[in-house]
Chains A and B, each alone.
Chain A
Amino acid sequence: MSLATRIIPCLDVANGRVVKGIKFIDLKDAGDPVEMAAIYASEGADEITFLDITASAEGRGTTLDVLRRTAEQVFIPLTVGGGISSAEDVNQLLRAGADKISINTAAIRNPELISEIVDRFGTQVLVLSVDARRARTKSGFEVTTHGGRESAGLDALDWIESATSRGVGEILLNSMDRDGTRSGYDLEMIRRVRDICDTPLIASGGAGDIKDFARALADGADALLAASVFHFGIYRISQIKDALKGAGYVVRESSKLGKN
């Protein structure tokens, strides 16, 4: 009896449509995030993350609508990240059906926002998203913004220590060096972050080989987020869970109810 490792597919959504390339079996409309979330949930996703890459206010409204429609039929935790810059943004997303929100740039710009969100909604809603890459900083890892294009001028480990001291529910650690490469998670980065923090750690960026998932867990990750391996149909969630089970990790298997 113990906690299962979470597998979290991530969908990039812009103006209410999924925008990353997607090859998915049985999908009627490859661009509909609501349908995709429902399929992932039925395939055993333990949570769903939406990354809202919408730039306009109208698009934002569409994202809220996506969230509302998803929450009506998908009864597992939903996280939304991207462009959240105030406690009011958080409030809107939670009201639309998000369970958690992830923040990145806004927290770097104004760390007080972390405290504000946590005081108002509790630590459990806040996922600190850290886009990190290798660099000549104290720890050898730095924080970036704008999808890895700009340096935030912060050492990644220093930033994680200071942000978690304000109380965040989870850390989503994205390797910008590995993102989209399918060359494996940055295991050293996972180990270094695990050493300094006792907050649940979600590994992201680089998953490609089926063995990558167990490796990240062995080096200290608590949960595993991936996008392209699912969207391109390289692995199904059940295959990853089978591989993890084979490596001795606990996963949530499909419910034995199912027959009613």
Chain B
Amino acid sequence: MKERNAISILDYGSGNIRSAQRALERVGLEVEVTSDFERAWESSGLVVPGVGAFGSCMNQLRAVRGDEVIRARFKSDRPILGICVGMQVLFAGSEESNEEGLAILPNKVNKLAAPILPHIGWNEVTEIAQLRILKGINAERFYFVHSYAAREVTGDAKSAISNYGEDFIAAVELGPISAVQFHPEKSGDVGLQLLKNWAEVL
């Protein structure tokens, strides 16, 4: 089958996929929700959502061969957008669970050192290096809901940070991968602009 000019949202049983679907459609993308390996592989962009616990997300991801499709797309330079726990699974692991992550990003995810958790609400995101998805978006706020995050990302990845109790990685890009700890689909116009930016790299 020829490459379709449409994106897929990987449906592996994690969370509210609908809001991501609606927001991606709003920025002009044709969106298919799928748990099928082939379709997730051949789409021009793959969105990996994720809410809930790291361990159960990893298990559910493996159950639909989501780990394989993410690795395969990464190696073949095919765009991926990870959201929230869908970003965390790209790391080597999480303090939340004994399950291993995909280790595409070498660092680990830790519990945020903040007195009140989860970190819920609109927080500012600051670029360390320029990210494609943050093009034209400066010092804006995005909507976060999480208790865990990566403190750093080493290697070639470009990142943006936010702060809640401590600095943490709010967004990262490495090769075909873009990933965000916040929810662009719930971040109003700013979130839609980020999704539009992602659509432009496809």
Contacts and interface: CB of A to CB of B under 8 A. Distances in A.
Contacts, number: 106
Interface stretch (B32-40, B86-94, B97-105, B111-119): B111-119
Contact of B189 (A4, A77, A258): A258
A4 B141 contact: yes
A163 to B, nearest CB: 16
Contacts of B138: 256
Interface string A120-138: 0111110000000000000
Nearest to A97: B18
A95 B13 CA distance: 12
A56 interface: no
Interface stretch (A28-36, A68-76, A104-112, A226-234): A68-76
B15 interface: yes
A71 B145 CA distance: 18
A3 interface: yes
A217 interface: no
A170 interface: yes
Q: Which of A41, A123, A124, A199 has the most CB of B within 10 A?
A: A124
A75 B15 contact: no
Interface residues on A, range: 35 or more
Contact of B118 (A4, A72, A169, A258): A169
Contacts of A46: 121-122
Q: How large is the interface on B (under 10, 10 to 19, 20 to 34, 35 or more residues)?
A: 35 or more
Contacts of A162: none
A121 B163 contact: no
B193 A3 contact: no
A1 B163 contact: yes
A95 B189 CA distance: 22
Chain B contact residues: helix, strand, loop or mixed: mixed
B122 A257 contact: no
Given A71-B22, A124-B51, A257-B140, A77 B186 contact: yes
A125 B19 CA distance: 14
B201 to A, nearest CB: 18
A255 B140 contact: yes
B145 A169 contact: yes
B181 to A, nearest CB: 13
Given A3-B164, A97-B18, 20 more contacts: A3-B122, A3-B123, A4-B141, A75-B186, A75-B191, A77-B186, A97-B19, A99-B186, A121-B51, A121-B52, A122-B15, A124-B51, A124-B145, A124-B146, A169-B120, A198-B115, A200-B120, A256-B138, A257-B189, A257-B190
16 contacts: A1-B126, A6-B121, A71-B18, A75-B186, A77-B186, A99-B19, A121-B52, A122-B53, A170-B120, A198-B117, A200-B116, A222-B120, A222-B121, A256-B139, A256-B140, A257-B140
